[in-house]
Structure 1
């Protein structure tokens, strides 16, 4: 049975290589062929009220539809 057409964005605050993100992406890919991943380049847990003011934010494409972002979540 074909997957329904839908776009899913998966993100977290634990970093691009976090085990929980990997699990979430696996589930999302079972539901859709259009899964996008944007996550911090490094672990940022507990930084939800932080602001990225002193350095420019960078977005690095790890692979198609998978990006690591510098700065706070």
Structure 2
């Protein structure tokens, strides 16, 4: 079974997971890294987060599927 994990977006500049986010943030509002002051609109930070999550989730999902298939076909003879 694949388990869902919480994933924190990391600043593309410094790797920090701390961001300054304005109240009632909209897609075009700037989000600022709390460590290095990198700035980007919220929609770009979301896209960065999605790509970072893919780097973690895809290999984990592939391994989980491979393990399930190995278990399902254990003892299977050609």
Structure 1-normalised TM-score? 0.26
Larger Rg belongs to: 2
Greater helix share, structure number: 2
User: Larger relative CO (CA 8 A, sep 6+): 1 or 2?
Assistant: 1
